[in-house]
A and B are shown apart, each in its own frame.
Chain A
Amino acid sequence: MIKFDRVSKRYPNGKDALRRINFELPAGQLTFLTGHSGAGKSTLLKLIMMIERPTQGQVFVEGQNLNGFSTRQVPFLRRKIGMVHQNHQLLFDRSVFDNVALPLVIAGFARADIGKRVRAALDKVGLLNKEKLNPIMLSGGEQQRVGIARAVVNKPPLLLADEPTGNLDPALSAEIMDLFHDFARVGVAVLIATHDLSLIARHRHRLLTLREGRLIHDGEDDDHGA
Chain B
Amino acid sequence: MAPNSPRARRPGGARSARTSLGDRLRAWRHHHRDSLRDALNRMRAAPSSALMTVLVIAIALALPAGLAVLLDNARVITKGWDGNAHLSVFLEMDVDEDRQRRLADDWADFDTVKRTEVITRAQALDEFKALSGFGDVLEALPDNPLPPLIVVYPDNTAPGQVEALQTRLNALPEVDNAQLDVAWVRRLHAIIELGDRLIGVLTLGLAAAVVLVVVNTIRLAIESRREEIVVIKIVGGTDGFVRRPFLYSGFCFGFAGGVLSLVLVGTALWWLGGPIDELLNLYESEHSLTGMSPSTVLVLPLFSGTLGLLGAWLAVSRHLGDVEPQF
Q: Which B residue's beta carbon lies closest to that of A104? A: B17
The answer to whether B235 touches A187, judged by C-beta atoms less than 8 angstroms apart, is no
The answer to whether A105 touches B236, judged by C-beta atoms less than 8 angstroms apart, is no
Pick out which of these stretches binds chain A: B8-16, B119-127, B163-171: B8-16
Output the residue of A76, A109, A150 with the most chain B CB within 10 A.
Answer: A109
Q: Looking at the assembled complex, report how far the CB atom of B34 sits from the nearest CB atom of chain A, in whole angstroms.
A: 8
- The CA of A83 and the CA of B326, in the complex, are separated in Å by 12
CB of B6 within 8 A of chain A? Answer: yes
- The CA of A47 and the CA of B248, in the complex, are separated in Å by 33
Pick out which of these stretches binds chain B: A7-15, A23-31, A138-146, A171-179: A23-31
The answer to whether B4 touches A102, judged by C-beta atoms less than 8 angstroms apart, is no
CB of A181 within 8 A of chain B? Answer: no
Pick out which of these stretches binds chain A: B18-26, B107-115, B200-208, B272-280: B18-26
The answer to whether A45 touches B327, judged by C-beta atoms less than 8 angstroms apart, is yes
Pick out which of these stretches binds chain B: A126-134, A154-162, A196-204, A207-215: A154-162
The interface size bin for chain B is 35 or more
**Chain A residues within 8 Å of B228, by CB:** 91, 93
**Chain A residues within 8 Å of B7, by CB:** 187
- The CA of A194 and the CA of B15, in the complex, are separated in Å by 28
The answer to whether A106 touches B17, judged by C-beta atoms less than 8 angstroms apart, is no
The answer to whether B235 touches A79, judged by C-beta atoms less than 8 angstroms apart, is yes
**Chain B residues within 8 Å of A27, by CB:** 4-6
- The CA of A16 and the CA of B262, in the complex, are separated in Å by 60
Q: Looking at the assembled complex, report how far the CB atom of A129 sits from the nearest CB atom of chain B, in whole angstroms.
A: 21
The answer to whether A186 touches B14, judged by C-beta atoms less than 8 angstroms apart, is yes
The answer to whether A102 touches B227, judged by C-beta atoms less than 8 angstroms apart, is no
Q: Looking at the assembled complex, report how far the CB atom of B41 sits from the nearest CB atom of chain A, in whole angstroms.
A: 11
- The CA of A91 and the CA of B230, in the complex, are separated in Å by 10
> Which residue in B11, B235, B239, B327 is a CB contact (below 8 Å) of A186?
B11
> Which residue in B4, B25, B231, B236 is a CB contact (below 8 Å) of A107?
B236
The answer to whether A162 touches B327, judged by C-beta atoms less than 8 angstroms apart, is yes
**Chain A residues within 8 Å of B19, by CB:** 107-110
CB of B159 within 8 A of chain A? Answer: no
The answer to whether A75 touches B237, judged by C-beta atoms less than 8 angstroms apart, is yes
Q: How many residues of A contact B (CB 8 A)?
A: 48
The answer to whether A42 touches B232, judged by C-beta atoms less than 8 angstroms apart, is no
The answer to whether B6 touches A105, judged by C-beta atoms less than 8 angstroms apart, is no
Q: Looking at the assembled complex, report how far the CB atom of A193 sits from the nearest CB atom of chain B, in whole angstroms.
A: 9
CB of B238 within 8 A of chain A? Answer: yes
CB of A103 within 8 A of chain B? Answer: yes
The answer to whether A154 touches B17, judged by C-beta atoms less than 8 angstroms apart, is yes
Q: Looking at the assembled complex, report how far the CB atom of A46 sits from the nearest CB atom of chain B, in whole angstroms.
A: 8
CB of A85 within 8 A of chain B? Answer: yes
> Which residue in A42, A79, A90, A113 is a CB contact (below 8 Å) of B236?
A79
If the complex has contacts A108-B23, A110-B27, are A51 and B9 also in contact, measured as CB distance less than 8 A? no
The answer to whether A78 touches B236, judged by C-beta atoms less than 8 angstroms apart, is yes
Q: Which A residue's beta carbon lies closest to that of B321? A: A71
CB of A6 within 8 A of chain B? Answer: no
The answer to whether A109 touches B27, judged by C-beta atoms less than 8 angstroms apart, is yes
CB of B325 within 8 A of chain A? Answer: yes
**Chain A residues within 8 Å of B239, by CB:** 72, 75
The answer to whether A187 touches B10, judged by C-beta atoms less than 8 angstroms apart, is yes
CB of B31 within 8 A of chain A? Answer: yes
CB of B234 within 8 A of chain A? Answer: yes
Would you list which residues of chain B between 40 and 98 have a CB under 8 Å from chain A?
A: none
**Chain A residues within 8 Å of B24, by CB:** 107-108
The answer to whether A83 touches B235, judged by C-beta atoms less than 8 angstroms apart, is yes
The answer to whether B236 touches A186, judged by C-beta atoms less than 8 angstroms apart, is no
Known: A76-B236, A111-B30. 5 other contacts (CB 8 A): A45-B327, A89-B231, A102-B232, A105-B27, A186-B9
Question: Which 3 A-B pairs give the minimum distances between C-beta atoms?
Answer: A108-B27, A79-B236, A108-B24
What are 27 A-B contacts with C-beta separation under 8 Å?
A: A26-B4, A28-B6, A45-B327, A49-B325, A51-B325, A51-B326, A72-B238, A75-B237, A79-B236, A85-B327, A89-B227, A89-B230, A89-B234, A91-B227, A91-B228, A102-B231, A106-B238, A106-B241, A107-B19, A107-B27, A108-B27, A109-B23, A154-B16, A155-B15, A187-B10, A187-B14, A226-B4
